[in-house]
Amino acid sequence: MMLAAPVIAVALTLLVGAVLFTLLGHDGLGAIFEIFVKPLFNPYRWQDLLVKAAPLAIIAIGLAIGFRANVWNIGAEGQYILGGLAGTGVALATLDMTGSWILPLMLAAGILGGMAWATIPAALKTALGVNEILSSLMLNYVAIQILYYLMRGPWKDPMGFNFPQTAMFSSDQTLPMVVPGTLIHLGVPLAAAVALTAFLLMARTVTGFQMKVVGLAPKAAAFGGFGAASTVWIAMLVGGGLAGFAGILEAAGPFGQMVPQFPTGYGYTAIIVAFLGRLNPLGILLAALVLALTYVGGESAQTTIGLPSAATGVFQAMMLFFLLATDILVRYRLVSGRAAPLGAPASKSEAETAAGGKGKAVAA
């Protein structure tokens, strides 16, 4: 059931989505076909899928490590913005220079920028006990204002006809294409590398073990000597660093400059990706492709059948709803009424959790 739940959730989303959109006066079946089927048969869209899945996967992997340890970083959107801004800062400072050292420096700055933004909720949580959900979320709104300020003022391109955006990055400051002639940039293989690294680290290192134990059995973790504060710091810095990394990859990749339209909600969608991927880095790669499909298909459905852009968000949220609903099938076994008479003591153990392990990771 562990792996079946996401599949059931996606299937239910398609089914209920078709009904819902028909009731709302749209072509429900057509919408499902346009969003979830048609892009799969269009090779040009495959590139688009990979390019959109890459940032989602990178952010979601970072969030998942925290979610496993019950550290709820909801601030990925802001960390993504700050990562993009930090890398952009490097790019603007090196605009007249050339050299292959510039891009790695930008990427490093992006990671550090995301980490720095995540430091705030981490410090508030560990020093004062401030709820990290609320503080990290509030910082998303602050990050957007920092972006607007920089675009409107200090970082505005002086040659840009007064548009609130930076100068275009130079060729040394943009991600190279891994397959010439396509949209597939360096961020795509990097996302796969991040997933593999995270998978190995979570499976093979003490720190990976710590994140899992703290989430599954906080008391045992404390007895085992895993500090609550160090867990928060690791979760926040990894989550923030990866969100920042995704941010600068987007800025130096598809955008090629910094613009006010930079935040596209990936930081929120990545939460859905993390859960749909079962908080497992490899599962997240698959889930990121599914969510990328809703973006790519949603965009084409806008032009072909006039489906509103908001439909994408509805489908994404429905997926998470259905996933959370089917999770009970992971944690509990269905027992027919006759086999388990109500209140009979014997039935209790039968109905008891079968796969409590992973299920608990999503139980508060």
Partner 1 sequence: MSLDLLVAILMTVAGAATPLLIAGLGELVVEKSGVLNLGVEGMMLIGAVTGFAVATSTGLPVLGALAAMGAAALAAAIFAVLVLTLMANQVATGLALTIFGTGVSALIGAPFVGITTPTLGPIFPEALTASPLLRLVFGHSPLVYFGLFLTFAVWWFLNRARAGLILRAVGESDTAAHAIGYPVLKVRYLAVLFGGAMAGLAGSYYSLVLTPMWAERLTAGRGWIAIALVVFASWKPGRMLAGAYLFGLVMTMELQAKAAGFNMFAPEVLAALPYVATIAVLAIISAAKRGGANAPACLGKSFRATA
Q: Which residues bind partner 1 (CB under 8 A)?
A: 24, 72, 74, 120, 124, 128-131, 133-135, 137-139, 141-142, 145-146, 148-149, 152-153, 268, 271-272, 275, 308-318, 320-321, 324-325, 327-328, 331, 343, 348, 362-364
Is 52 within 8 Å of 314 (Cβ atoms)? no
Closest distance between partner 1 and the C-beta of residue 137, in Å?
A: 6
Q: How far apart, in whole angstroms, are the C-alpha atoms of residue 65 and residue 217?
A: 15
Is 164 within 8 Å of 173 (Cβ atoms)? no
Residue closer to partner 1 by CB (options 89, 253) is: 89
Residue closer to partner 1 by CB (options 339, 363) is: 363
Residue closer to partner 1 by CB (options 197, 230) is: 230
Alpha helices in 24-161 (DSSP H): 28-32, 43-68, 76-93, 102-128, 132-152
Q: How far apart, in whole angstroms, are the C-alpha atoms of residue 256 and residue 145?
A: 21
| Cα atoms found within 13 Å of the Cα of residue 144, Cβ hemisphere only | 12
Closest distance between partner 1 and the C-beta of residue 109, in Å?
A: 22
Closest distance between partner 1 and the C-beta of residue 232, in Å?
A: 13
Please name which of 136, 134, 150 lies closest in space to residue 84, comparing C-alpha atoms. Answer: 150
| Collapsed DSSP state (helix, strand, coil) of residue 185 | strand
Closest distance between partner 1 and the C-beta of residue 362, in Å?
A: 5
Closest distance between partner 1 and the C-beta of residue 224, in Å?
A: 22
Residue closer to partner 1 by CB (options 206, 334) is: 334
Residue closer to partner 1 by CB (options 48, 327) is: 327
For residue 251, what are the contacts with CB-CB under 8 A and spacing of at least 6?
Answer: 84, 87, 88, 91, 110, 169, 257, 258, 262
For residue 66, what are the contacts with CB-CB under 8 A and spacing of at least 6?
Answer: 72, 73, 211, 235, 236, 238, 239
Closest distance between partner 1 and the C-beta of residue 46, in Å?
A: 25
Residue closer to partner 1 by CB (options 146, 354) is: 146
Crossing angle of helices 43-68 and 187-204, rounded to 10° = 30
Residue closer to partner 1 by CB (options 131, 197) is: 131
Closest distance between partner 1 and the C-beta of residue 281, in Å?
A: 18
